[in-house]
Amino acid sequence: MPHQSGSLRVALLGCGVVGTQVARLLTEQADDLAARVGARLELVGIAVRDTTVEREGVDPALLTQDADELVTRADVVVEVMGGIEPARTLILRAIEHGASVVTANKALLAADGPTLYAAADAAGVDLYFEAAVAGAIPIVRPVRESLAGDRVQRVLGIVNGTTNYVLDKMATDGLDLDQAVKEAQALGYAEADPTADVEGYDAAAKAAILASLAFHTRVSIDDVHREGITGLTADDVAWAASTGRTLKLLAIAERNTADDGTEGIQVRVHPALVPSDHPLAGVRGAFNAVFVEAEAAGELMFYGRGAGGAPTASAVLGDVVSVARHRVLGGRGPVESSYADLPVLPADSARTRYQVRLEVRDQPGVLAQVAAVLAEHGVSIESVRQSAVPDDHVALLLITTHTASERALSGTVEAISGLDVVRAVVSVLRVEGA
Amino acid sequence: MPHQSGSLRVALLGCGVVGTQVARLLTEQADDLAARVGARLELVGIAVRDTTVEREGVDPALLTQDADELVTRADVVVEVMGGIEPARTLILRAIEHGASVVTANKALLAADGPTLYAAADAAGVDLYFEAAVAGAIPIVRPVRESLAGDRVQRVLGIVNGTTNYVLDKMATDGLDLDQAVKEAQALGYAEADPTADVEGYDAAAKAAILASLAFHTRVSIDDVHREGITGLTADDVAWAASTGRTLKLLAIAERNTADDGTEGIQVRVHPALVPSDHPLAGVRGAFNAVFVEAEAAGELMFYGRGAGGAPTASAVLGDVVSVARHRVLGGRGPVESSYADLPVLPADSARTRYQVRLEVRDQPGVLAQVAAVLAEHGVSIESVRQSAVPDDHVALLLITTHTASERALSGTVEAISGLDVVRAVVSVLRVEGA
């Protein structure tokens, strides 16, 4: 309940890059927010680890180290501290005390979302998390509300700005991976330890949340098959361009049928080649985008900034307005929808197209041998490009397959690499979005 | 109130391309919809003009000519008949009888939205209209909910698929306008009388709705300055490409300050050049997209199919699920937000950049004369490109200006056309998105 007529108490957990912007916007846009909510939003406290650090534009009197106490005296608790603990305990405590919660914490939601959703449901309060996936891009509302009357078939997302910046730099400036990562670090797009981004952990957490929403099924980060971009070379990126494709790190969630006929979904994060005229190929720099294929709606794409203080704060405040309106006017937003309860199928039953690059002996009959191996494994060839390396008795073979399962493909690649005429399997990349 | 436990009555007004798909999806997805709503949705009747026409997949027993009666016995009324009347009267009657309403009727909303919003508000029911702007693309929820904590600066939309298809065809196949329109008609993208599309009326209605949502201000179609694409030539399109730009018909709504200091908004529809690397330039064929610039969120884009039976039905059903959930669980969605009440500024105070193409005498000093006229009117030049036409004593002058007001620009163009050395002002096009 509001502690005084016409106002709602907002507590902020965390005051880093995002928290500072949330605090700023709550103050600067106070009148507009009040008009939209129907009540003034009063920031009653900000829980931080160290209250002595100065934070620009933030009233030091609001800072407290006692988050446990703060969450008990708020109508809306905004969690932007990140990490699993103490965020989880504080959110549960806030819910228990009747507060609605807005969180940007993808790691926590991907690890243990259902616990939080259940608690919010039991207490009859809202738990909103638009900022947890793709930052400022409105994606949670569109997927779980606008598409609620449709059937989503596939979600393809560029949901990590760091890796998209890195791959874009490799493509446009011909940098190798290390150089591009260093440039991203210099610009603040990558952290000192870039592991969470370049190894795909961040994208995997978002993939789990997106898959849960799109398919009305509980998906945790442990269900997500994950490959990062660290194996990619400048050569891979250049070859992609020469074949009219662009390399992107994609978060993919799609309906699929396993070999035994089980209908389920597949959730994975890996680098993939997308056709250069696909809308995702045009997503440059540190931007994010989520491409959705739905049965009736067809192709949709949502594009914008996936990270950064102000963009993330925009998404957080949109949620704050929604949950605050519910407290003023009654009602609640959508709760967790997991009725479909689809099985998450194993990674090797994923079906997609592949581009296999081989270094082979430059002699007649090589292509015939390689093609025979593919045929034996039931993998059919869409196109082949062969080019000789002058004076080196070596040829390069670029094979693009039709759709095949991961299992069939990996068996094929193993067999090919055992051929005498094959000197090296240079790369195997998936082709998506076509 | 539901007429029987666990079910909600849905009435459909209109059974054309969209209505047929809505009816089909209500049946085919009945179980999923029930799980999402928390109650079964029962289609109780479909109002049509002629009940004898056969409609594929639609039970003829549901058809009725008595729309007046039908709307009194439904919990949710879906209006997909289009046009101002009888749609308005039927929607008001449905609301009066306590039904929630979902409509795809952009013309009605742009002409008389506030009357409907007020009626819904007084009756405490929902009025949803996601399908009225940009078809299947979720744009209403993102703008009025996700961005509720942010401040929108500008909306640039490709909101008419017909004209986008026509301009795309002109660009890729070098067709002239008439040929491209004929092709669009052959494919069903344009109607036999394409006026509403090519003259920008359809886009203007959507611009009014988008502007109302984005700026919390009532904007009607009469407030929208409108120019269609009928003045564009194959030559304009080719020139655009040669300068790294793409011609699009844009719906634009933006904050602006008039010469007298009045802060307000400007809403207009006209062809514009956008840089070829702008996300809107990549929107091909009959697709739509809405590009939003917000203070905190930065640049966002929403992309998808703007028309067609199934895509529009997807948006309609998303709304049906939302309003039906509210009836089951209590609460209501956002109501009209018009608190900002910004003035709509006159068209000639719009400020943008321009590309002016002139045919001039091929003699020394021409550029100096033209540049002097621009300077006198306070219009500054960003770039000039001059090219001679062999053996014709004629040169072409392509001038791109910095930002200037429509008023200053039109004065400039008038003065330029009066110069002796100027043989013709070939075209004047606005440049947006850069």
What is the tens place of the pLDDT at every residue in A5-50? 579 999 999 999 999 999 999 999 999 999 999 999 999 999 999 9
Residue B340 included in any domain? no
Statement: residue B434 has pLDDT above 80: no
What is the tens place of the pLDDT at every residue in A293-318? 999 999 999 999 988 999 999 999 99
Distances (CA, A) of B317 to B78, B271, B320: 9, 32, 5
Q: What is the largest CA-CA distance in chain A?
A: 86
Q: Measuring CA to CA, which residue among A221, A198, A180, A325 is closest to residue A270?
A: A198
Asked if residues A317 and A80 have their Cβ atoms less than 8 Å apart, the reply is no
What is the tens place of the pLDDT at every residue in A360-394? 998 889 999 999 999 999 999 999 998 877 777 89
Residue A345 included in any domain? no
Subunit contact B331:A334, Cβ cutoff 8 A: no
Per CB-CB distance under 8 Å, the chain A contacts of B146 are 130, 138, 141, 315, 318
Residues B206 and B235 in one domain: yes
Band (pLDDT 50/70/90 cuts) for residue A331 is confident
The Cα of A283 is separated from the nearest Cα of chain B by a number of Å equal to 8
The Cα of B263 is separated from the nearest Cα of chain A by a number of Å equal to 16
pLDDT of residue B3: 46
Band (pLDDT 50/70/90 cuts) for residue B363 is confident
CATH label of the domain that carries residue A390: 3.30.70.260
Per CB-CB distance under 8 Å, the chain B contacts of A33 are 149
Mean pLDDT value of segment A164-183: 96
Residue B295 included in any domain? yes
CB-side neighbour CA atoms (13 Å) of A243 = 25
Per CB-CB distance under 8 Å, the chain B contacts of A279 are 282, 303
Cα(A420)–Cα(A229) distance, integer angstroms: 30
Subunit contact A145:B25, Cβ cutoff 8 A: no
Task: Quote the number of domains for chain B.
Answer: 3
pLDDT of residue B2: 44
Residue A18 included in any domain? yes
Residues B405 and B357 in one domain: yes
Amino acid at A180: A
CATH label of the domain that carries residue B276: 3.30.360.10
In B44-175, where does DSSP find H-type helix?
67-70, 87-96, 106-123, 140-141, 161-173
Residues A126 and A154 in one domain: no
Residues B296 and B317 in one domain: no
Subunit contact B138:A137, Cβ cutoff 8 A: no
Write the burial class of residue A112 (CB in 10 Å: 0-12 exposed, 13-18 middle, 19+ buried). Answer: middle
Statement: residue A2 has pLDDT above 70: no
Residues A130 and A147 in one domain: no
Predicted complex ipTM: 0.92
Residues A131 and A178 in one domain: no
pLDDT of residue B382: 94
Residue among A106, A169, A182, A206 flagged as catalytic: A206
CATH label of the domain that carries residue A81: 3.40.50.720
Statement: residue A206 has pLDDT above 90: yes
Statement: residue A4 has pLDDT above 60: no
Cα(B422)–Cα(B257) distance, integer angstroms: 34
Band (pLDDT 50/70/90 cuts) for residue B353 is very high
The Cα of A359 is separated from the nearest Cα of chain B by a number of Å equal to 36
Residues A214 and A299 in one domain: yes
Count of CB atoms situated within 10 Å of the CB of B230: 15
Asked if residues A389 and A380 have their Cβ atoms less than 8 Å apart, the reply is no
Cα(B396)–Cα(B235) distance, integer angstroms: 13
What is the tens place of the pLDDT at every residue in B380-414? 999 999 887 777 789 999 999 999 999 999 999 99
Residue A108 included in any domain? yes
Nearest-by-CA chain B residue for A292: B304
Residue B266's contacts (CB-CB under 8 Å, 6 or more residues apart) are: B225, B252, B253, B254, B256, B344, B345, B347, B349, B350
pLDDT of residue A275: 95
Statement: residue B24 has pLDDT above 50: yes
pLDDT of residue B5: 57
What is the tens place of the pLDDT at every residue in B281-317? 999 999 999 999 999 999 999 999 988 999 999 999 9
Q: Measuring CA to CA, which residue among A18, A12, A5 is closest to residue A308?
A: A18
pLDDT of residue B293: 97
Cα(A372)–Cα(B248) distance, integer angstroms: 50
Mean pLDDT across chain A: 93
Statement: residue B4 has pLDDT above 70: no
Domain that holds residue A257: 141-305
* Model pTM score: 0.94
Band (pLDDT 50/70/90 cuts) for residue A221 is very high
Residue B300 included in any domain? yes
Cα(A204)–Cα(A220) distance, integer angstroms: 9
pLDDT of residue A329: 85
pLDDT of residue A54: 85
Which of B238, B273, B305 marks a domain boundary? B305
pLDDT of residue A5: 56
Count of CB atoms situated within 10 Å of the CB of A361: 15
Mean pLDDT across chain B: 93
Subunit contact B138:A130, Cβ cutoff 8 A: no
What is the tens place of the pLDDT at every residue in B84-134? 999 999 999 999 999 999 999 999 999 999 999 999 999 999 999 999 998
Residues B31 and B75 in one domain: yes
CB-side neighbour CA atoms (13 Å) of B270 = 21
Cα(A417)–Cα(A424) distance, integer angstroms: 7
Band (pLDDT 50/70/90 cuts) for residue A84 is very high
Q: Which of A308, A318, A326 faces B150 most closely, judged by CB atoms?
A: A318
Q: Which of B142, B284, B305 faces A297 most closely, judged by CB atoms?
A: B305
pLDDT of residue A196: 95
Report the share of chain A in percent with pLDDT over 90.
Answer: 87
What is the tens place of the pLDDT at every residue in B162-183? 999 999 999 999 999 999 999 9
pLDDT of residue B127: 97
Statement: residue B202 has pLDDT above 60: yes
Residues A129 and A201 in one domain: no
Statement: residue B246 has pLDDT above 60: yes
Cα(B308)–Cα(B286) distance, integer angstroms: 10
Tell me which of B78, B139, B146 to substitute to probe the interface with A (most A C-beta atoms closer than 10 Å): B146
Statement: residue A1 has pLDDT above 80: no
Q: Which of A282, A296, A311 faces B21 most closely, judged by CB atoms?
A: A296
Sole residue written with tokens 């067709």: B175
Subunit contact A142:B145, Cβ cutoff 8 A: no
Active site residue B206: yes
Helix (H, G, I), strand (E, B) or coil at A383: strand
Nearest-by-CA chain A residue for B292: A304
What is the tens place of the pLDDT at every residue in A111-153? 999 999 999 999 999 999 999 998 899 999 999 999 999 999 9
Per CB-CB distance under 8 Å, the chain B contacts of A125 are none
Residues A184 and A299 in one domain: yes
- Higher pLDDT pick, A335 / A152: A152
Residue A389 included in any domain? yes
Cα(B245)–Cα(B237) distance, integer angstroms: 9
Nearest-by-CA chain A residue for B41: A149
**β-bridge pairing A127-128 and A100-103:** parallel
Residue among B106, B169, B182, B206 flagged as catalytic: B206
pLDDT of residue B260: 87
Subunit contact B302:A305, Cβ cutoff 8 A: no
The Cα of A147 is separated from the nearest Cα of chain B by a number of Å equal to 5
Helix (H, G, I), strand (E, B) or coil at A248: strand
Statement: residue A55 has pLDDT above 90: no
Per CB-CB distance under 8 Å, the chain B contacts of A146 are 130, 138, 141, 315, 318
Residues A273 and A168 in one domain: yes
Nearest-by-CA chain A residue for B297: A311
pLDDT of residue B336: 86
Residue A289 included in any domain? yes
Residues A259 and A126 in one domain: no
Buried/exposed code over B266-293 (b: 16+ C-beta within 10 A; e: otherwise)? bbbbbbbbbeeebbbbbbeebbbbbbbb
